[in-house]
Structure 1
Amino acid sequence: MADIRNEPVVVIGLGRFGSALALELAKRGTEVLGIDSQPKTVQSLVGQLPHVITADSTDIEALRQLGVGDFHRAVVAIGTDIQASILTTSLLSELGIPDIWAKAVSGQHRNILTRVGAHHVIAPEHDMGERTAHLLTGRILDYVEVDADFAVIKTKPPHDVVGMPLRESRLRSRWGVTVVAVKPEAAVGGRRPGFTHATPDTVLSYGDLILVVGPVDNVERFAAAE
């Protein structure tokens, strides 16, 4: 079976997000074709990306000539021209690309991209703003939303679950969350250990770090508990 990590990716739109993505993919050994409509933007990436081209991604013939339809994965990272973003995504779908990622700048944009063929829609500014809001409030130390209403957080355990096995803490019935990993506060051999899987027999201490999964409202309520 082919390793999907080694399959080439076409990145269309080389602004701050698109160029950062393309450069990181290239750094990780992925073959990248970068496309942007602005010659100045393309010129700035010559020598950094092995394949970077000026082209109009809203022209399906231009995409065909560049062989874009042969790619398995494509990213539409156009952020300033919503119409071009939508049309490009639609054309990639028409070309039959099986894995299309697209950047959205609003909820409405996200919905349209999904309807015209995007398989994955990301909203970097919105997602980062939401994550930062969670970090600035309450006791959440890190936050990753993995679905529309499901998240993983890093926090410290509230007092009433400390000192007892997790099986006795009734986390699911009381808060509707699950502790999946623990990083103990206590050092072992002079070093603090990393995260390990939590089990029903795991006993939490006050200074431990824990990874908790569950619906967003539930993990927020759990993290706010004293």
Structure 2
Amino acid sequence: MARKPKNKFSPATVAVIGLGRFGSAVAHSLLRMGHDVLAIDCEEKRIQACAAELPHVLQADTTDIDTLRQIGLADFQRVVVGIGSDVEASILTVMGLTDLEIPQIWAKAIDKTHGRILERVGAHNVVYPEERMGNRVARLVTGKMIDHIEFDEDFSIIKTKAPEALVGSLLGIVDTMSKFGVAVIGVKPQDGPFRHITEDIVVQAHDLLIVAGSNDKCEAFAALE
């Protein structure tokens, strides 16, 4: 069993279980954002790899609910389960956290079946990082988008070059939703910062646009000449 951490963590501390590529990325991002993080993994080599960069790391087998209690996770409000390769360990860890009545359990899934099981045993939010990244890369490789973020099964925000059809237009006047089925929500001039849309913005040939809409409409807009 793991030893209970010596530090007394605040309710705002986030526990991240599983320090593979996904889990360690989440832990480091949380730390950069100013959050306190308790990072946990069952493998000593991963703990050692993160010990110099993360302030609180702990080696433990989180598939055992008694270990979760001993660590003190019952007092945590938010836990991220980043275990991916060991599906059984992922499921058992989420089950244990559910029994501890953790208010927010985020869990990584490697596929839809894994994700459905995680939801059934108590995960409040299931993420599919490999699938999302695969879809994102596919859209960028095959289209003219510069960046793409999918928020739902059929809603995205993209960054793309201003199409010729809009060059010279006042974005505050053009109804892009009626004309193209998307909303232009921001613009970045070639030599300036991003701006929210105002009536006085005239689209220039080298502007970048931030566009929101359905996946198909966003792809069609990005493909405009």
Q: TM-score range by the shorter chain?
A: 0.7 to 0.9
- Which amino acid in the other structure matches residue 199 of structure 1? T
In structure 2, the CA distance between the partners of 1:196 and 1:147, relative to structure 1 (3 Å rule), is same
Query: What secondary structure is seen at the aligned counterpart in 1 of 2:157?
Result: strand
Q: Does the 8 A contact of 1:6 with 1:30 survive in 2?
A: no
Mapping for residues 29-48 of structure 1, pairs under 5 Å: 29-48=34-53
Distance 2:108 2:79 in 1: 11
Distance 2:35 2:171 in 1: 42
Tell me the equivalent position of 2:198: 199
Tell me the equivalent position of 1:208: 207
1:52-96 residue CA offsets vs partner (Å, 9 max, x unmatched)? 222221111110111101111100000111121122112212211
Of 139, 143, 154, 1:134 maps to 139
TM-score normalised by the chain length of structure 2: 0.87
Query: What secondary structure is seen at the aligned counterpart in 1 of 2:79?
Result: strand
Query: What secondary structure is seen at the aligned counterpart in 1 of 2:140?
Result: helix
Tell me the equivalent position of 2:97: 92
Q: Does the 8 A contact of 2:18 with 2:82 survive in 1?
A: yes
Distance 2:217 2:186 in 1: 17
Q: Does the 8 A contact of 1:71 with 1:97 survive in 2?
A: yes
Deviation at 1:178, TM superposition (A): 0.2
Query: What secondary structure is seen at the aligned counterpart in 1 of 2:91?
Result: helix
Distance 1:70 1:64 in 2: 9
Q: Does the 8 A contact of 1:6 with 1:31 survive in 2?
A: no
In structure 2, the CA distance between the partners of 1:208 and 1:45, relative to structure 1 (3 Å rule), is closer
Tell me the equivalent position of 1:54: 59
In structure 2, the CA distance between the partners of 1:50 and 1:167, relative to structure 1 (3 Å rule), is closer
Deviation at 1:45, TM superposition (A): 3.0
Deviation at 1:167, TM superposition (A): 5.3
In structure 2, the CA distance between the partners of 1:67 and 1:174, relative to structure 1 (3 Å rule), is same
Deviation at 1:119, TM superposition (A): 2.2
Tell me the equivalent position of 2:4: none
Tell me the equivalent position of 2:159: 154
Distance 2:27 2:63 in 1: 20
Q: Does the 8 A contact of 2:176 with 2:183 survive in 1?
A: yes
Query: What secondary structure is seen at the aligned counterpart in 1 of 2:165?
Result: helix
Q: Does the 8 A contact of 2:105 with 2:123 survive in 1?
A: yes
Q: Does the 8 A contact of 2:23 with 2:83 survive in 1?
A: yes
Q: Does 1:81 align with 2:83?
A: no
Q: Does 1:217 align with 2:222?
A: no
TM-score normalised by the chain length of structure 1: 0.86
In structure 2, the CA distance between the partners of 1:55 and 1:198, relative to structure 1 (3 Å rule), is same
Query: What secondary structure is seen at the aligned counterpart in 2 of 1:165?
Result: coil
In structure 2, the CA distance between the partners of 1:44 and 1:194, relative to structure 1 (3 Å rule), is closer
Query: Which segments of 5 or more consecutive residues in structure 2 lack a partner in the other structure?
Result: 1-9
Tell me the equivalent position of 1:23: 28
Distance 1:45 1:167 in 2: 49
- Worse-superposed segment, 161-170 or 10-19: 161-170
Q: Does 1:123 align with 2:122?
A: no
- Worse-superposed segment, 7-16 or 155-164: 155-164
Deviation at 1:23, TM superposition (A): 3.2
Tell me the equivalent position of 1:172: 177
